[in-house]
Structure 1
């Protein structure tokens, strides 16, 4: 079986768990190591006991750099009981740095899988760079931005593959900035569904009866202050005809007082974190629309990404709301589904809902429901295809060649 060392920036991130499960379902054995943003230690991720490299803080770039430097010094000890993997995945730039260090650490160790001796040295262990966000620091045109891009190019010299979740990251950043020359594997943020009839019958929210509100769900990583303010103004102007439900993990560093702000809103509720994918049918079954807009890094990362909530909401037949000019809006336009705003304006949202009735909504939801399940869902075949793509990067070993020749 393919042996994968997966280095991650946040062991407590639900998306990390989903990727580990995906690799396992594809036939890989995963060793997990990384930092955590949570105060409590992470003792288990999808059945894997992770190697904890320490705590880092969201939004504190200098602190994270110091933590990475410290981890690089102690990585040999941290990985002392780990046999050399077949591939190493670094999830984002700081972990790409540690992936290069891990490659050196495993120099001379026996391969984890019994396939004889490597033709080359231990440097033949492939590195995969997983980049699911392009941080704003990478896009700066000053000396700091140029230095970070130069570091990324240097660290990426040994990378055999780039995994990313949106074609716009390649089109808008990696290609024009000349950052990476390796092949690209697009792995979208689809809903992971393993096993037959995992979901069962989808039960979308019923059309509101007279006097009941439409409901918009904003779920996942809640980091966009502008979205919060826009939805606040909009819901107040609708005077109870629309409610906004928030769920997930707020990035408290991006808000002055997230909990206090939401508590003061008459038509907005924060209902806490949820389990992915276990809770998805229930939480999306409570809302009519999914908020697929993010102004966190407007014109850059937020305009290029295809977020988890896009796939999750559409999987459960919620109608997505996007912003024109973004990759999400282009994606929805190609599928002829959802609504896209021309500008981030509460008045435009009011106009959209003033024109909304049961018939128009049913038509919009039917279009979403009619799209093939594979657009939104990652299954066992997709997992095996990903692991197969990684396996193809593993250098041929002399022992295996000799057995085949015999």
Structure 2
């Protein structure tokens, strides 16, 4: 922490100390009494950590897949260790699946190099090889970021306790646990049905080959589900914060209360930014993987149309479905981030602007101005550690990138067709 940060912290402590002298309303005294709760006590954190209880199943599934071997090692705290029980299981699971992936991958490469004669067979072979790649980045994008993920998850505990200190009630995530059960079950079932269907309809893709893909396809689906659940939880938290804030400023608009909500809002904004920092490797590679698969699948589909016209054979339809499937996952990833960012700032900022300056005292006006300044200077955005901001603009820029590569590839394709004729 540099000198400037120390000065800012000192000034903030002085301001809060002065605000305590302004505690006059019963509502402010309630907040002051609950502020004595110890945030370092794991039992206190655990009592108010509803988010962990609701999404515990999701964490369990990621441990089973050996992607994110974290655990509730201490009361009120999620931990990670390279020699922990979940990590030892992850080592064994990864070694076993790596052997299968190498065996199947060798056969898929052999089919690509020696047995594929038609263009559509080449494209499918390339796609099947691409879908094996995510297995090899698990240690980098899963285990390698586990410590940062723990920090992000534990941040939820502190935020929920702070929310309780101000509101007097626990943060609730409506239907989140039920939604997680439905989505998780759907991800598992879709993976199995998808691979069994390919095995039945595609020549050369045997049941033995599907064994290398079950955990990979499930992991891809679950990563999208994980991001959606986290963004939904942040949306629930922002809505709850806005509701209780509106209720308080309508009845008890004082400097002390506004100052506490400003700190709480900043914590929520930091949570949104923390999710991007914690999962930056995971979703940077995830986005690149989706863009690559969309490009290859759409190129194969258009090439088939150029060669044979629009026949909508199974292979053409399969390529189109593969491209659309990846595009839908990419859109969900970007859209839920966009909505979470919009929800955090919108309502609270509106309520602050609606407060009439002549209806509150000087200290309260000052806190309102500080709150508005904090919102303006700390826009709630999801950034993958500066590599990309995750919002709807990422979808359009990705589509533009895909279009550029498709144009280049199709120019080569058309040139080859013209040379043959």
Q: State if a TM-score over 0.5 links the two structures.
A: no
TM-score by length of 1: 0.29
Structure label with greater radius of gyration: 2
More helix as a share of residues? 2
More strand as a share of residues? 1
TM-score by length of 2: 0.29
